[in-house]
């Protein structure tokens, strides 16, 4: 069995869409990082997205753990033309499309961006490659990536998975074994 400890990166304090735009994480809450580090398994492998907010968060969790190279397959949604825009600006620019993006996730994508299904397809090979390589894997990623994995493990559709809150520095634990996937914890903040 492989236990996946999905950690959402540290906060960015952005008030706009942040997908592939590389903005730093604020890791100044050392007490929260210490609690998170104490909660996570010591013998775990650590992997992250290749965006700096995930890399620096994973690096803060790696001392004493085996750090794998960061992987672009774990990047956040590519929000395309919406990246860097506030939600109200996106709604004004693309009213019907932006509503459908949230209400009908699946094949709907931002202009020049990715759909839910495209992200799930991009993340799957990373997870498949690592399943069974270790008992515990800490994957530092983004809200969208974590939600695709909740949908996979719970056997739900994207809309249902998007109903979950995923806070910065929270842990979502999923298990993969001979009987398939199991959700054990969502949005736990130690």
Mean pLDDT of the chain: 97
**The predicted structure's pLDDT at residue 104:** 95
**The predicted structure's pLDDT at residue 90:** 98
Binned at pLDDT 50, 70 and 90, residue 98 comes out as very high
- Tokens of residue 16, six digits: 């706009």
**Interval 132-138 mean pLDDT:** 96
**The predicted structure's pLDDT at residue 116:** 97
**Interval 148-152 mean pLDDT:** 98
Q: Which domains does the chain have, with CATH numbers?
A: 2-188 (3.40.50.1240)
Q: Looking up tokens 């709907």, which residue turns up? A: 108
Distances (CA, A) of 30 to 61, 122, 156, 179, 188: 11, 32, 35, 38, 17
* pTM (predicted TM-score): 0.97
**The predicted structure's pLDDT at residue 94:** 98
> What's the pLDDT tens digit per position in 4-41?
999 999 999 999 999 999 999 999 999 999 999 999 99
Share of the chain above pLDDT 70, in %: 100
Helix (H) or strand (E) holding 2: strand 2-8
Binned at pLDDT 50, 70 and 90, residue 157 comes out as very high
- Tokens of residue 152, six digits: 């996979």
For the chain, the 3-state helix, strand and coil shares in percent, each to the nearest 5, are 40, 20, 40
Distances (CA, A) of 146 to 29, 79, 96, 166: 22, 16, 26, 8
Residue 116, Ramachandran bin (φ over 0: left; ψ between -120 and 50: alpha; else beta): alpha
């Amino acid at each position: 069995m492989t236990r996946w400890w999905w950690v959402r990166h540290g906060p960015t304090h952005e008030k706009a869409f942040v997908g592939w735009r590389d903005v730093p994480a604020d890791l100044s809450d050392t007490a929260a990082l210490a609690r998170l580090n104490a909660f996570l398994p010591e013998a775990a492998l650590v992997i992250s997205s290749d965006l700096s907010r995930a890399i620096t968060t994973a690096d803060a969790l790696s001392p004493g753990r085996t750090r794998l190279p960061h992987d672009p397959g774990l990047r956040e949604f590519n929000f395309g033309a919406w990246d860097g825009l506030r939600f109200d600006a996106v709604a004004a620019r693309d009213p019907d499309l932006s509503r459908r993006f949230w209400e009908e996730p699946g094949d709907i994508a931002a202009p020049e961006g990715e759909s839910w299904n495209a992200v799930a397809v991009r993340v799957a090979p990373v997870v498949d490659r690592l399943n069974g390589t270790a008992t515990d894997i800490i994957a530092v990623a983004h809200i969208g990536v974590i939600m695709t994995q909740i949908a996979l493990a719970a056997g739900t559709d994207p809309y249902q998975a998007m109903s979950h809150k995923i806070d910065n520095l929270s842990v979502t634990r999923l298990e993969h074994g001979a009987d398939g996937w199991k959700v054990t914890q969502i949005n736990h903040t130690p």
